[in-house]
Amino acid sequence: MKFLFLALLYCMVLSPAAAYDPLDPNGNITIKWDIMSWTPDGYVATVTMNNFQMYRHIGTPGWSLGWSWAKKEVIWTMVGAQATEQGDCSKFKGNVPHCCKRNPTVVDLLPGVPYNQQYSNCCKGGVLASWGQDPTASVSAFQVSVGVAGTSNKTVKLPKNFTLLGPGPGYTCGPAKIVPSTVFLTADRRRKTQALMTWNVTCTYSQFLASKNPTCCVSFSSFYNDSIIPCPSCACGCQNKQNCIMSDSKILHRAGINTPRKDNQPLLQCTHHMCPIRVHWHVKLNYKDYWRVKIAITNFNYRMNHTLWTLVAQHPNLNNVTQVFSFDYKPLVPYQSVNDTGMFYGMKFYNDLLMEAGPLGNVQSEVLMQKDKNTFTLKQGWGFPRRVYFNGQECLLPPPDTYPYLPNTAYKHSLAVSKMAAYVLLLLLCAW
């Protein structure tokens, strides 16, 4: 029975990630083009990118958005973003376009660009918060003036083949679809205007496309058993093992060790799991009506600070969270009937920055949950999470047959029970 349960759990956890995330079934990034005016040879559009994913943000170095023009369009000007390459504009005399490429790639501007280059919701270095953490920061926008294009809603051709990097691979974008024109409210909220034409593109995330190995792992411990259940070995693949750095290495004091690379290539501290992130779940205390879990996140990447980090956990008792200490918490209810998933994220200006690997590279919190007497148990690994995600990436859990046993379920070991375990047993008996 126990085996069956654990085997089921294991299957659930290791199911290949498709472009569908069971914990955020409606999550997507939507890119909306609103044509605001027609020009003699094209149009001016506002492009708005909304991150509707509950817990997956786009971190530095930010998004880049690409597409293919349907005809021979050019970009005359952009406000609030820029094309990464101008391309061949030699056909143009006098006024030279901003970009003549058939398949432009556009990136956000950095914060602090001159006022006249800014656009509302622009210039955040391509960083988009997740919807669950901060809906007001989950939007990015720019304005593009397109030439050599259709000049009416009958002749304009929608761009094709949208691609989104966020900042790495993982997103797949559908075709642009004409949708009802966006309605805008004027600043005094007394008049409505509307776009001349609107189309939407929806992009969804697949972890499988993002990386073939997990990028984080989970380890467990409990007050009732001394053993720490480590992350699985090579949880995140061991192919980079020769490039990792021992934590006591002298190299660490060299300048530049923490400088992020353009390709975002990590520089990891050597561990047996070789994951950039480890999440530790410790079942800390068992009171009469409550129990307490300690959660710690450790960064093993010397080249990455995580801003806007999120941690998602699925556990049946998250329907009854009484208090979360030193993290912000929000229940996620992907399906109306089950309330077993929640997201944790850092408190602003306190621990919303998970620093690079090293002495400061960790954040931690404790969660107090009220027991439901019918379901609560310390047996069979019930106290441990069913799924864990860091920054929207599913973390590899230890195999279920290694979960800590409750000491009193293993009678044959009872003679060898250490003082510590005996103490714990006592504590347990008292608590029950």
| Site for ligand NAG, rule CB under 6 A | 26, 28, 30, 32, 48, 50, 52, 68, 153, 160-161, 178-179, 197, 200, 202, 225, 227, 229, 258, 260, 303-305, 318-321, 331, 333, 339, 355-356, 370, 372, 402, 404-405, 407, 410, 413, 417, 421
Please state, in angstroms and rounded to a whole number, the distance separating the CA atoms of residues 302 and 358: 7
**Which of residues 238 and 260 has its CB atom nearest to ligand NAG in the complex?**
260
Residue environment code for 95-125, b if the CB has 16+ CB neighbours within 10 A, otherwise e: eebbbbbeebbbbbbeeeeeeeebbebbbbe
**Which of residues 238 and 370 has its CB atom nearest to ligand NAG in the complex?**
370
Beta strands in 210-320 (DSSP E): 216-222, 225-229, 277-286, 290-299, 306-307, 310-314
**Which of residues 60 and 238 has its CB atom nearest to ligand NAG in the complex?**
60
CB of 139 to ligand NAG, least distance (A): 8
CB of 115 to ligand NAG, least distance (A): 25
**Which of residues 237 and 399 has its CB atom nearest to ligand NAG in the complex?**
399
The CA-CA-CA angle for residues 298, 304, 309, to 5°, reads 60
Contact in structure between 339 and 269 (CB atoms under 8 Å): no
Q: CA separation (Å) from 380 to 56, 90, 282, 318, 384?
A: 31, 70, 15, 18, 9
Q: CA separation (Å) from 219 to 163, 190, 297?
A: 36, 56, 10
CB of 141 to ligand NAG, least distance (A): 9
Please state, in angstroms and rounded to a whole number, the distance separating the CA atoms of residues 345 and 309: 6
The neighbour count for residue 61, using CB atoms within 10 Å, is 19
CB of 302 to ligand NAG, least distance (A): 7
**Which of residues 77 and 202 has its CB atom nearest to ligand NAG in the complex?**
202
**Which of residues 86 and 320 has its CB atom nearest to ligand NAG in the complex?**
320
Contact in structure between 365 and 294 (CB atoms under 8 Å): yes
What tokens appear for 312 in the block?
């998602």
CB of 95 to ligand NAG, least distance (A): 26
Torsion angle of the four alpha carbons 371, 374, 379, 385, in this order, in degrees rounded to the nearest 10: -60
**Which of residues 48 and 286 has its CB atom nearest to ligand NAG in the complex?**
48
Cα 135 to chain centroid, rounded: 14
User: Which of 30, 390, 331 has the alpha carbon at shortest distance from 210?
Assistant: 390
**Which of residues 18 and 96 has its CB atom nearest to ligand NAG in the complex?**
18
CB of 197 to ligand NAG, least distance (A): 5
